[in-house]
Amino acid sequence: QYSAEQIDKLRDPSIKLLICINPTNPPSVRLADDTLAQIAEIVATVNPGLVIITDDVYATFVQGFRSLASSLSRNTILVYSFSKYFGATGWRLGAIATAKDTILDEKLAALPAAEKQRLARRYSSLTDDTASLSFAERLVADSRDVALRHTAGLSQPQQVQLALFALFDMLDEARAYRESVQQLIRRRLDALLTGLQFNLHPDPLRAGYYVELDFMTYVNEHFPADFAAFLKKSYEPTDILFRLAAQTGVVALNGSGFDGPPWSVRLSLANLDEADYSVIGKAIRSVAEEYVTEWQAGRAQP
């Protein structure tokens, strides 16, 4: 989560753009309601021109989700995909949405004359009245380098699949599928933690689609300081990943690739059977214990 002090940086009107992944990846938690309210207050009072891009692809995996697009629709570009929710990542079924009444069109209208002329030349193949093109229309045109705008959009099979996904969710008024998916993710997380012999504090904001295990934080909390120094001196942060792959066949990613802690492992809970995550947890714990054994052996030497 973000502190109030961090969010307060948005009060600076020189900040023009906020890019948000909500729920996050890989921490996999949704923004707290207090944070959403603070951002809305800042936009309403001191930074009304702030443009927000929010990627809400993991929204359906957590209870009580609220998008920034719901409270700041005029300022927000909403990005969403059905791929995670329905396990159809290969289809690449996504959408970008803006409100009909959006500050983006106001910003286009307020551009300097020279910039408007440049954009008029860019979109001149579409219409003589380029000033009338909305931000959304320009976005569609830009997706095909303008000249090929007539080919923009999804193929017919993709459109049909997108419609089926949307209709399925709309007709499921009891949210039975959504609840079953959330429970499935929770069971997989529980299985992983059982294998790790580790507990997580309950968090109502947790989506749990991913989990990021920060080994150095755990080491600092449960071992003497010289164990952490031993790890940093003797190994690269990715060493555990190679050991996992070589010894157990478990292939994972390093959290630093997602700007996470360097000594972290990122796992997806969306891909394997529940029992597999218990095996993965045991494998990670087994490999991690090797470092403790090596450290203790070094301390025992005269």
Question: Where residue 213 sits, what CATH number does that domain have?
Answer: 3.90.1150.10
Dihedral in degrees, nearest 10, Cα atoms 255, 246, 84, 87: 180
Looking at the fold, whether 136 and 211 belong to one and the same domain comes out as no
144, 169, 194: which is the final residue of a domain? 169
Looking at the fold, whether 255 and 120 belong to one and the same domain comes out as no
Looking at the fold, whether 155 and 9 belong to one and the same domain comes out as yes
Q: What is the pLDDT of residues 215-225, one digit of tens each?
A: 999 999 889 99
Looking at the fold, whether 165 and 204 belong to one and the same domain comes out as no
pTM of the full structure: 0.88
237 Cβ neighbours under 8 A, 6+ residues apart: 254, 256, 262, 263, 264
Look up the domain containing 138 and give its range: 4-169
Rounded to an integer, what distance in angstroms lies between the CA atom of residue 194 and that of residue 118?
Answer: 60
Q: What is the pLDDT of residues 9-44, one digit of tens each?
A: 999 999 999 999 999 988 899 999 999 999 999 999
148, 169, 190: which is the final residue of a domain? 169
Q: Is the dihedral of CA 163, 166, 169, 171 positive or negative?
A: negative
The domain total for the chain is 2
Looking at the fold, whether 54 and 141 belong to one and the same domain comes out as yes
* Per-residue model confidence (pLDDT) at position 139: 93
Question: Where residue 23 sits, what CATH number does that domain have?
Answer: 3.40.640.10
- Tell me what the pLDDT averaged over the chain comes to: 94
Q: Is the dihedral of CA 22, 4, 34, 183 positive or negative?
A: positive
Looking at the fold, whether 188 and 273 belong to one and the same domain comes out as yes
Rounded to an integer, what distance in angstroms lies between the CA atom of residue 291 and that of residue 233?
Answer: 12
143, 169, 195: which is the final residue of a domain? 169
Rounded to an integer, what distance in angstroms lies between the CA atom of residue 195 and that of residue 278?
Answer: 5
